[in-house]
Amino acid sequence: MSMTKFFVAVVAAASVLHALPAAAKAAQCGNNSAGFQAWVADFKQEAAASGVSPSVLNRAFANVSYNKSTIAADRGQKSFKLSFDAFMKKRGGATIISRGRSMKRANQGLFASIEGRYGVPAGPLIAIWGMETGFGSYMGNQHTLSAVSTLAYDCRRSDYFTDQLYAALQLVSEGYLNPQARGAAHGEIGQTQFLPRNVVRFGADGDGNGRVDMVGSRADALASTANFLRGHGWQAGAGYQPGEANFAAIAGWNAATVYQQAIAYIGQQIDGQ
């Protein structure tokens, strides 16, 4: 499928799928594993009634199970409460800066192309790439569809992750998400850790091969990240430090203030070398 056809399909499907989570609310959420299988059965019925192919549902849910690791991660995001200095130390900020400068030098053409297309310079993209997966070295080991399904079932943010689950089903149906794929604990995908809905909305073909591969293609992952930032108000040529025009776009990536500050600082150290 060409990227043009893919995004036409995405837009058409998204117009339907964005409306579907309201129909799925009848599936009863829960706060432990006891009701998960019943929830899956109800969700599959409602999704099928809303137009999702039974074959897609069967493939997607073939190996889905309640993921206790996902729940633990969702309840334990303590690093975002650290001071800036403690957060940078815990997340290896100095190493990200050092390696990030090397990554920028080694991929000058790619970053120039991305900045020309989206207006986003290398620094913040490299900062996100390094912070999220150590430049693609570790993208997670949790079963993606189990993670997203568990959070859709969990009462804390059921509506939000039900929407993510419908987006994941769309990616399965289009062949852009393997039902056996593994990633981060909340269902994030690829080298910069996109949730499924953001893959649908902002996924970009950075290497020109006609597909969006957030896992295997750094060009796709980085172009998609730039597209995300542009979609959240990034202005070409404007600053991205706290108080500057593009800092709000970084806030769109992650709601934690200390994370936003770290990305801005790391990006500045890389861009200003």
Q: Give the pLDDT of residue 178.
A: 96
Dump pLDDT digits (tens) for 188-234: 999 999 999 999 999 999 999 999 999 999 999 999 999 999 999 99
Domain presence at residue 200? yes
Q: How large a percentage of the chain has pLDDT more than 70? A: 89
**Domain with 222 in it:** 84-134+191-271
The answer to whether residue 47 is domain-embedded is: no
Q: Is the pLDDT of residue 2 over 50?
A: no
Does the structure show a pLDDT above 90 at 16?
A: no
CATH number, domain containing residue 255: 1.10.530.10
**Burial status of residue 63 (CB atoms within 10 A of its CB: 0-12, 13-18, 19 or more):** exposed
For all residues of the chain together, what is the average pLDDT?
Answer: 91
Does 4 fall in a domain? no
What is the pLDDT at residue 4?
38
Q: How far apart are CA 265 and CA 97, in angstroms?
A: 9
What pLDDT digit, counting tens, does each position of 241-254 carry?
999 999 999 999 99
User: How confident is the model at residue 75, as a pLDDT?
Assistant: 86
The pLDDT assigned to 24 comes to 40
20 inside domain: no
Asked if the structure places residue 166 within a domain, the reply is no
Nearest-angstrom CA–CA distance, 186 and 257: 20
Total domain count, the chain: 1
Go through the chain and tell me how many residues it has.
273
What average pLDDT score do residues 108-136 get?
98
* pLDDT tens-digit map of 67-115: 999 999 998 766 688 999 999 999 999 999 999 999 999 999 999 999 9
